[in-house]
Structure 1
Amino acid sequence: MTSASVNYYDLLQIHPKAEPETIQRVYKIFAARYHPDNRETGDAERFRLYREAYEVLSDPAAREQYDLKLELTQPDALPVFQSKEFTDGIDAEAKIRIGILCLLYAKRRANPDYSALSMLDLEHLMAFPREHLQFAMWYLKAKKFVTQDDRSSFIVTAEGVDYLETQLPGNDLLYRIFRASESGVMIYPKALLNSKNR
């Protein structure tokens, strides 16, 4: 894992608008866990990454520059997720879950070597704030349709693939979401893909 391949907000598992106090509190937890002196969970490389993330995000000028750079590498929201179908009605939550699965499925097919999407990636692709995605993500993880990698990014599981493929035949909305997700992952900015694959 190199610093070029890490989203500092995802690494620290914090919101991009997190307050300095939150950044410091979360950093202290991870620093204690991965400090090389910790005989049980120490990891010098991970500790270095967390320290680097903290140094950038705790410095207002460095954080502003980092945020600008991060913004340039984020994908545009897919139009299918901005329709009323995803915001209105009792089944909007179920559609958000299906949307997440479709994006992760498409990402897995497009790039098996890096098949994960971070929460920030999903926020940008779906145009939903993190708070709207957290319930869906809890459900998908509880059903074992989605898992997390060592960077806390999300990956579709074999169970998730099976579920999605059994739902696809004859479901026009799902098919539209699936196609939009596939094209959305394909047009992912090359700079972002290249940095994440280093």
Structure 2
Amino acid sequence: MFTDYYELLEISPRANLETIEGIFRYFAMRYHPDNQDTGDEVRFSELVEAHNTLKDPVKRAQYDIEYKEHLNIRLDLAQEASNSKGIERDSDLQAKLLSLLYAKRRQDVNNPGIGDVEIERLLDCPREHLEFHLWYLKAKGWIARIENGTIAITIEGIDRANSEYPRKAAVTRLLDHAH
């Protein structure tokens, strides 16, 4: 896992050696295990590792290559997070998956599951793109893997699917007259 040494030391990636040394000394005194008030052995070790890497010009140059790659990943993540179309697509795919499993359960209540490969085929979506959605729907309790290894909608999932569709006007009027 990548550790952002600049963030750890709370310095800019353009910081000079003098700044690195000064900040390191400040944090080293603060987090040194001998400091009874604020000592933190794990944090101190991380600071020493960051300092040793950033003070050495060769190690820092190698680290900066990794840092830039990690920064690009973070920028991609931020860009995806700001794209509301992605969330819309995700919601649509989750609704389609629930609808598919809902229809399967209605067709055959005793054999309600659909296998992974069949879900991929029916949704025209590769497994790696479905993993997040399957995880989410399982965590919400809306789908579950059943005894035979297939995936089926749960009672909570049926309730969720039903709540997504507005009631027909006639049903609403019937409910109103019942009161």
Whether these two folds match at TM > 0.5 is no
TM-score, structure 2 normalization:
0.44
Structure with bigger gyration radius = 2
Q: TM-score, normalised by structure 1?
A: 0.40
Q: Say which structure, 1 or 2, has more relative contact order (CA 8 Å, 6+ apart).
A: 1
